[in-house]
Structure 1
Amino acid sequence: MKLVFFRGKVPNFGDELNLHVWPALLPKGFLDEDESELFVGIGSIIGDHLPAKSRKFVMGSGYAGYMGLPDVHDGTWDIRFVRGPNTAKTLNIDPGLSICDSAVLLRAMDLPAPDKSVGVAFMPHYESLERGNWVEACRQAGITLIDATEPVEKVLSQIQGARLLITEAMHGAIVADALRTPWIGAKPIYGGHHKKWLDWAGALDLDVRLNDLKPSSVLEYYISKTGRGGAMGKIGRLSGSPVAALPNKILTNVAATHLDQMARLEPQLSSDSMILRVTERARDAVDGFVRSRVAAA
């Protein structure tokens, strides 16, 4: 059974969690390279891109519309649980299968020691690291930048040690909430990333507040106004050119001031009872799946 998850040009914390969580929680040798069976784990990876003939076992994944909608009733899907109620509704499956994003299972694992030097932190979406000037914005605001492309162990240590996390990255919020680090949601500059937050929050009965995030570059400003993602072509080249130096500087300064203001907002956490409940349900679902596989072997 092969573990499948999204991998782009650079590593991304939320997706790379798959390599941290599943080998730790599943029996040794449970995962292999046999593509006739797929273990569909953490991330918005439910879609029609997965091989039609493969048997697909879903463990806390979500559907975000990045790919086409699959027919999960065609006999090749075995859904043990999904990220949230929006995914369950979209797939037309039992609402009871809406448990939580499986990154919550970090609560059942040994984790690296918290980095107590972090203080207030900001975690941009990994795409924003390339498109914006967040390193400079965080420096000006006196806030620690958490880089979603850094090794998972480092990011986990920083999130655990933070006094407060402002996060544009959804898995920053998911992990902070699971590990009980107060967090403030920042509305992703690219609008295509908004809905999946509501999916996850719905599973925790959490009224998530996504606060506006000021763009830190000409490119991000363009994306925020047009809703475009993907390759930026001409506007991307313009944003990195000398002619954009002054507008970029102004936007970065504004973004830094806004980050400082965001750090004064009321943070969020799901209730202790709810995070305990969904962790237990997710762990029971994984353990039940493992037992069923062992019994069938």
Structure 2
Amino acid sequence: MKPLALYWSSSKPNFGDALSPLICARVSGREVVWAPPGRCDVVALGSLMQRFKEHWWTRRVHVWGTGFIEHPPAHASRHHYHAVRGRLTQAAISGLKQEVALGDPGLLAPLLVEDRPAPARRCRVLVIPHYKDKGNAALAELAARVPGVEVADIFAPATTLLEQIRAAEVVLSSAMHGLIAADSLGVPNAWLKLSDAVRGGDFKFNDYYSVFGFAATPLALSEPLLRDPSAVVAQYRRPGLADIQERLMRSFPDGV
């Protein structure tokens, strides 16, 4: 069987980008190789749709769970859609079939750790900063002062970060795939806004959360939140998660 030619953003070892080939390999049972947008067969995890042009001469790719990074104008598309990240991406593509699966394939991250034993050590609060928020001075100062708080490195190997998330009681993240992975593993979590540096603002977060039928509001970093995140646990819900995961599995573009 030929390798699956997949495009993912490879300029930095970012968590969500690193998950894409791992999850696609696990779901497809095939070797996955990187290919640029003009030569790939599939695009999956990530805010990457704006990189795929709609000219008549451009390659038509198979889209599985991808989204836009910011709100695009509604437009027709030549690509083959099996799943998109959320309802905002769905609405931006004119004529997209309503039965297309919705959800980020990062929700299938448990496939990468399902054969591993449960972590032996628990972390009370794991904070996952977006790479634009790496080195946030206020976070570093609070994490050093508040017991039981760990700060993850978004550039760590993907399976290492998944194990850290599994070991956490609560996850707070300004990186979207930190939240998605926590959802996939059943770890209560909340969107933490550390700055305005993340490209696209709130769009991709709202797109992701739309599949659960609600709009999320980011939390601000504070010492009380790190000391007592019980409200995050009490309010945590992800209705329909199992159905979303099942539809994503069924919608993978086999035979490409």
TM above 0.5, yes or no, is yes
| Residue identity matched to 1:176 | A
Shift, 1:106, TM fit: 1.9
SS in 1 for 2:161: helix
Report the CA distance shift for 1:12/1:117 in structure 2 as closer, same or farther (over 3 A). Answer: same
Report the CA distance shift for 1:109/1:206 in structure 2 as closer, same or farther (over 3 A). Answer: farther
Aligned-partner Cα distance in 1 for 2:30–2:230: 45
Residues 185-210 of structure 1: CA deviation (Å, up to 9, x unaligned): 21352263312111111112244232
| Residue identity matched to 1:276 | A
Shift, 1:276, TM fit: 0.9
Aligned-partner Cα distance in 2 for 1:133–1:176: 23
SS in 1 for 2:50: coil
Q: Percent identity?
A: 20
SS in 2 for 1:270: coil
Aligned-partner Cα distance in 2 for 1:30–1:14: 16
Report the CA distance shift for 1:51/1:30 in structure 2 as closer, same or farther (over 3 A). Answer: farther
Residues 104-158 of structure 1: CA deviation (Å, up to 9, x unaligned): 1224444444433322111111210145453333122221112111111110001
Verify: 1:64 aligned to 2:100, yes or no. no
Aligned-partner Cα distance in 2 for 1:54–1:265: 47
Verify: 1:195 aligned to 2:161, yes or no. no
Aligned-partner Cα distance in 2 for 1:167–1:19: 22
Which protein has the bigger helix share? 1
Residues 198-246 of structure 1: CA deviation (Å, up to 9, x unaligned): 1111112244232234xxxxxxxxxxxxxxxxxxxxxxxxxxxxxxxxx
Aligned residue number for residue 246 of structure 1: none
Report the CA distance shift for 1:202/1:262 in structure 2 as closer, same or farther (over 3 A). Answer: farther
Aligned-partner Cα distance in 2 for 1:50–1:258: 46
When normalised by structure 1's length, the TM-score is 0.72
Report the CA distance shift for 1:49/1:281 in structure 2 as closer, same or farther (over 3 A). Answer: closer
Residues 12-37 of structure 1: CA deviation (Å, up to 9, x unaligned): 11111113211222232465658534
Aligned residue number for residue 218 of structure 1: none
Aligned residue number for residue 48 of structure 2: 45
**Bigger mean CA deviation after superposition, 36-45 or 88-97:** 88-97
Question: Which of the numbers 191, 201, 210 marks the counterpart of 2:218?
Answer: 210
Aligned residue number for residue 105 of structure 1: 108
Aligned residue number for residue 125 of structure 1: 130
Question: Could you tell me whether the CA contact under 8 Å between 1:104 and 1:178 is conserved in 2?
Answer: yes
Report the CA distance shift for 1:114/1:185 in structure 2 as closer, same or farther (over 3 A). Answer: farther
Question: Could you tell me whether the CA contact under 8 Å between 1:88 and 1:98 is conserved in 2?
Answer: no
Aligned residue number for residue 59 of structure 2: 54
Aligned-partner Cα distance in 2 for 1:145–1:176: 15
5+ residue gaps, structure 1, are 214-254
Q: What is the count of residue pairs matched by the alignment?
A: 242
| Residue identity matched to 1:175 | A
Question: Could you tell me whether the CA contact under 8 Å between 2:64 and 2:105 is conserved in 1?
Answer: yes
Aligned residue number for residue 15 of structure 1: 17
When normalised by structure 2's length, the TM-score is 0.82
- Larger of the two Rg values belongs to structure: 1
Aligned residue number for residue 154 of structure 1: 160
SS in 2 for 1:199: helix
Aligned-partner Cα distance in 1 for 2:7–2:228: 36
Aligned residue number for residue 245 of structure 2: 279
Report the CA distance shift for 1:166/1:140 in structure 2 as closer, same or farther (over 3 A). Answer: same
Report the CA distance shift for 1:30/1:160 in structure 2 as closer, same or farther (over 3 A). Answer: closer
Shift, 1:72, TM fit: 4.8
**What aligned pairs does 1:156-195 form with structure 2 within 5 A after superposition?**
156-187=162-193, 189-190=195-196, 192-195=200-203
Aligned-partner Cα distance in 2 for 1:32–1:151: 17
Aligned-partner Cα distance in 2 for 1:122–1:87: 27
| Residue identity matched to 2:246 | E
Aligned-partner Cα distance in 1 for 2:82–2:70: 20
Question: Could you tell me whether the CA contact under 8 Å between 2:206 and 2:216 is conserved in 1?
Answer: yes
